[in-house]
Amino acid sequence: MDLTLHVWRQAGTSAAGDFQTYKAVGINGSMSFLEMLDLVNENITREGGDPIAFEHDCREGICGSCGMVVNGIAHGPHDMTTVCQLHMRSFADGDEVWIEPFRARAFPVLKDLVVERAALDRIVQAGGYVSIRTGSAPDANATPVPKPDADRAFDAAACIGCGACVAACPNASAMLFTAAKAAHLSYLPQGQTERLGRALDMVAVHDDEGFGNCTNHGACQVVCPKGISVDYIARLNRDTIRATLGGVGSPAATAGQ
């Protein structure tokens, strides 16, 4: 199949960007979206041009490196996949494809489709850990965890930090990411000690990084390649409100500070 691509090109963070049009010719339906871009880049390079920069690593949908907005949808039109696992059979011959970087003030464009997502790392640094001596690997089932809680913690821990939730959110909010990173600890016994302080600290950094706030649209869970539910946001809200109403001076609220 042959496609017309409109790709956002931007030389650097402070440079002005614009869309450039490219032809993607002879595309096989079994190619991934990134392989299609590889092919386009080969042609650009052969003609002496600057290839389209995009981030990628594992190309099997588990690392969270890749991500771009394809025709207005983060990671493209296929459900529960990253863009590297989006296959060209999702497109038809002659389609026009608009490719844009994830747009958020907290995600400055580094080059073309590559954005700086360190703001997400800083949210994790604020509370996405448990400060206990873990020692060597504990015996299995030494700390009993109810199966439903283990499942919920695991589902939250499936977050690969790709940032699609931020890209899709009309408010550019990172609440789904923050909520998942808090919930995968707050469902487990080891995460209880710092639970409320963690919520306060992570939300404070989330706000400081310039992300917007959640208005419960639910666009984030629709594009999330790992299918993380907005119900985790309810849990983060609950913990944050409990920490706030419990008083900022309470031990629980300051444990993570």
Partner 1 sequence: MRQAVTLYQSSIGKKFLMAVSGILLAGFVVVHMIGNLKMFEGPESMDGYAVFLKGLGSPILPEYGALWITRIVLLLAVGIHMVAAFQLWRRSRAARDVAYRKNDSQVFSYASRTLRWGGVIILLFVIYHILHFTTGNVHSDFAYGSVYQNVVIGFQNTPVALFYLVAVGALSLHLYHGLWSVFTTLGVQNPRVTRVRRPLAAGLSILLFVGYAAVPVGVMAGILTLR
Could you list the residues that contact partner 1 (CB under 8 A)?
6, 19, 69, 71-73, 98, 100, 103-106, 168, 170-173, 200, 203-204, 206-207, 210-219, 222-223, 230-231, 233-242, 244-245, 247-249
Please identify, using beta-carbon distances, which residue of 89 and 238 lies nearer to partner 1: 238
| CA–CA–CA angle 75, 79, 83 (5° rounding) | 25
Please identify, using beta-carbon distances, which residue of 59 and 103 lies nearer to partner 1: 103
Q: Tell me which residue of 171, 183, 184, 176 sits closest to 223, measured CA to CA.
A: 176
- DSSP classification of residue 11: S
* Least distance in angstroms from the C-beta of 204 to partner 1: 7
* Least distance in angstroms from the C-beta of 123 to partner 1: 13
Write the DSSP string, 25-64. Answer: -S--TTSBHHHHHHHHHHHHHHTT-PPPP---S-SSS-S-
- DSSP classification of residue 102: P
Query: Which H helix or E strand runs over 4?
Result: strand 3-9
* Least distance in angstroms from the C-beta of 82 to partner 1: 17
* Least distance in angstroms from the C-beta of 158 to partner 1: 18
Please identify, using beta-carbon distances, which residue of 57 and 208 lies nearer to partner 1: 208
- Expressed in angstroms, the distance from the first to the final Cα of the chain is 55
Please identify, using beta-carbon distances, which residue of 37 and 230 lies nearer to partner 1: 230
Q: Tell me which residue of 227, 223, 243, 247 sits closest to 235, measured CA to CA.
A: 243
Helix (H, G, I), strand (E, B) or coil at 137: coil
Please identify, using beta-carbon distances, which residue of 69 and 185 lies nearer to partner 1: 69
* Least distance in angstroms from the C-beta of 69 to partner 1: 6
Characterize the bridge pairing of strands 73-74 and 18-24: unpaired
**Quick check: 202 and 178 in contact, CB under 8 A?**
yes
Characterize the bridge pairing of strands 69-70 and 114-115: unpaired
Helix (H, G, I), strand (E, B) or coil at 126: helix
Please identify, using beta-carbon distances, which residue of 84 and 169 lies nearer to partner 1: 169
59: left (phi over 0), alpha (psi -120 to 50) or beta: left
* Least distance in angstroms from the C-beta of 252 to partner 1: 14
Please identify, using beta-carbon distances, which residue of 80 and 132 lies nearer to partner 1: 80
* Least distance in angstroms from the C-beta of 43 to partner 1: 23
